Amino acid sequence: MIASPQQNYLTPEEYVQIEEQNPVKHEYIDGYIYAMAGALDAHITIAGNLFALLRNHARGSGCRVYIADMKARIESLNRFYYPDVMVTCDQRDQETPAYKRFPRLIVEVLSNSTEAFDRGDKFADYQVLESLQEYVLINTKRQRVECFRRNDQGLWVLQSYTSEHKTFRLHSVDFEETMPALYEDVVFE
């Protein structure tokens, strides 16, 4: 996300309408839009790999898997973000074709320009979503998957997976896969 907003205040409805017709994606925070930067090869490859694996896993489950172009809406904070990968299993999300309000899993693939925001303010914003069970950060510089899971007390607990682990697990969608499958065709810097 680029730091400087467009200057005109927009309502959420205006934002959604404009975004549907705009070739450049923008995230929305408190009435202002922020242009999103493009992604590098490793970022796109990892997101694509995970989407393909999760999509195959979710078939017939009632859950839907989305990649990059689907917005997550946080109504209580007046925010829209574009997660790299998102899974929703809530039927109410079928009512809103331009965004989803009840994700169970959100995944962000880290890049130099977004890592601090993804770990900080964006994660804090996502935590407001009561439906969210798991927030995952995937590293593009080395094999590392960080899974933040909401426990029964409402606390977020971290479990990390590295190249030393053969597999990683996403509890929110009962999914397990190998690290090599997630990082297939990724060339590290």
What residues are paired with 161 via a beta bridge?
Answer: 145
- The per-residue pLDDT for 37 is 80
Is 26 a domain residue? no
Question: For the segment 74-86, what is each residue's pLDDT rounded down to a tens digit?
Answer: 999 999 999 999 9
What residues are paired with 136 via a beta bridge?
Answer: 107, 147
Count of domains observed in the chain:
1
Is 32 a domain residue? no
Question: For the segment 136-147, what is each residue's pLDDT rounded down to a tens digit?
Answer: 999 999 999 999
Q: Residue 26 has what DSSP assignment?
A: E
CATH of the domain at 149: 3.90.1570.10
Would the pLDDT of 1 be above 50? no
Question: For the segment 153-183, what is each residue's pLDDT rounded down to a tens digit?
Answer: 999 999 999 999 999 999 999 999 999 999 9
| Radius of gyration from C-alpha coordinates of the chain | 16
Indicate the average pLDDT of the chain: 94
| Residue 136 near residue 146 (C-beta atoms within 8 A) | yes
Is 162 a domain residue? yes
Secondary structure class of 173 (helix, strand, coil): helix
- The per-residue pLDDT for 2 is 42
Is 8 a domain residue? no
